[in-house]
């Protein structure tokens, strides 16, 4: 996937972001890049740029619908070239992947387990004190039917070559099993 003419950063790189990008080849030599930085430091922006530079279809996994939507908004606002229709290159649906597909860990877990029903993708831990159905908004719930869906084959067919694990410290053990 060549992202030239599709994605181009519209801003100015912060000094530490520029340092990371100057060393991209060295960092991706083993096929892995780990970015650890404070909130608001531009990790998502770096992730999008790295996806663009790697030049492959990407699957981005986020811990909640809110963060999933932030990824898509950041791509559209900060990178998508003028005249490019986001629907041609961006997806938030595992069943309909595009060049960059952004979904929640819960969606991947549900697809791997061929789940059919309603999933809570708020990213809230059901065991957290004070968390109950009343605190999860309707927009954080989605009806899904993965009963006959083969997510692994679909990602192969879409030639996903980059997997981005956002906020992976939020991974629940069950979600981690889906990644394995």
Which of these ranges, 7-16, 84-93, 118-127, 157-166, has the smallest mean pLDDT? Answer: 118-127
Nearest of 52, 68, 80 to residue 167 by alpha carbon: 68
Which pLDDT band holds residue 87 (cuts at 50, 70, 90)? very high
Average pLDDT over residues 123-149: 62
Nearest of 154, 166, 173, 161 to residue 61 by alpha carbon: 166
pLDDT in tens, 163-172: 999 987 767 7
For residue 140, is pLDDT > 60?
yes
pLDDT, position 33: 85
Tell me what percent of the residues of the chain surpass a pLDDT of 70.
86
For residue 41, is pLDDT > 80?
yes
pLDDT, position 141: 81
- Count how many residues are written for the chain: 180
Average pLDDT over residues 89-104: 97
For residue 61, is pLDDT > 50?
yes
Average pLDDT over residues 33-60: 92
pLDDT, position 96: 97
Buried b (16+ CB within 10 A) or exposed e, 98-111: bbbbbbbbbbbbbb
**pTM score:** 0.85
């Amino acid at each position: 996937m060549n992202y030239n003419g599709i994605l181009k950063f519209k801003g100015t790189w912060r000094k530490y972001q520029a340092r990371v990008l100057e060393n991209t080849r060295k960092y991706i030599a083993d096929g892995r890049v780990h970015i650890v930085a404070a909130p608001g430091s531009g990790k998502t922006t770096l992730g999008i740029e790295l996806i663009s530079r790697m030049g492959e279809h990407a699957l981005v996994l986020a811990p909640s619908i809110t963060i999933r939507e932030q990824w898509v908004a950041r791509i559209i606002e900060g990178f998508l070239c003028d005249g490019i229709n986001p629907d041609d290159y961006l997806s938030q649906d595992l069943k309909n992947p595009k060049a960059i597909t952004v979904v929640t860990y819960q969606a991947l877990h549900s697809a791997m387990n061929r789940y059919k029903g309603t999933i809570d993708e708020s990213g809230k831990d059901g065991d957290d004190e004070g968390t109950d159905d009343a605190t999860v908004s309707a927009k954080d719930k989605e009806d899904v039917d993965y009963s006959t869906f083969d997510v692994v084959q679909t990602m192969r067919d879409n030639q996903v070559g980059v997997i981005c694990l956002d906020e992976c410290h939020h991974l629940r053990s069950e979600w981690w099993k889906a990644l394995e």
